[in-house]
Amino acid sequence: MTFSPVRFGSAVLLICAMSMPAFAQAPAAQPSPEHVALARAVLDFTGARRSFDGVIPKLLTDARNTILRTRPTLQTDLDPAAMEVAKKLANADEELVNSIAVVYAQKFTEAELKEIASFYQSPAGKKMTTELPSVLGESYKLIQDWTRKMSVDIMTNLRTEMKKKGHDI
């Protein structure tokens, strides 16, 4: 499995968005099935739905590798078992996608979701979906480089300021 910046970025954004505290919000009403279906369509159009595609295979590979580290002789039986588990869990993310669609439907009106869907079906929206992996990948590298530079700058400046106070660090 290869690293996918769009999947990584979408997952990070999704996790961040879902983990934000709800300040003084009343419980949201249960949206209609049509509203949720529209939200699911938006998940498809934005590419967010695809961000879950690699989760189960990755978890399965990690579990397989963990078992094989301590019990390498099990590989002959473990690989077919892993394939069976993969088949059983092929649609395991549907419950998660349904739950996320409900969140979208609670946060956006049907009219707003239609506007969002229209954008992502437009040429600019399609291009955004196509280019987002590259944008996220390049942005991630820029953030890493900037963070490293800031760490050095902060330590350099702290040493200078502490030296003024008679401390060598």
The predicted structure's pLDDT at residue 51: 81
The predicted structure's pLDDT at residue 23: 41
Longest dimension (CA), the chain: 69
Between helix 33-46 and helix 123-164 the angle, nearest 10°, is: 70
pLDDT in tens, 96-120: 999 999 999 999 999 999 999 999 9
- Report the chain's mean pLDDT, rounded to a whole number: 86
pLDDT in tens, 2-57: 445 445 455 544 444 444 444 444 456 789 999 999 999 999 998 888 888 889 99
**Amino acid code (one letter) for 36:** V
DSSP 52: G
Other C-beta atoms closer than 10 Å to the C-beta of 52 total 19
- The yes-or-no verdict on residue 85 having pLDDT over 60 is yes
Residue with tokens 């002789």: 73
The predicted structure's pLDDT at residue 10: 52
The predicted structure's pLDDT at residue 47: 85
Specify whether the CB–CB gap between 45 and 117 falls below 8 A: yes
C-alpha 23/C-alpha 16 separation (Å) is: 15
C-alpha 47/C-alpha 25 separation (Å) is: 28
The predicted structure's pLDDT at residue 4: 52
DSSP 109: -
The predicted structure's pLDDT at residue 20: 47
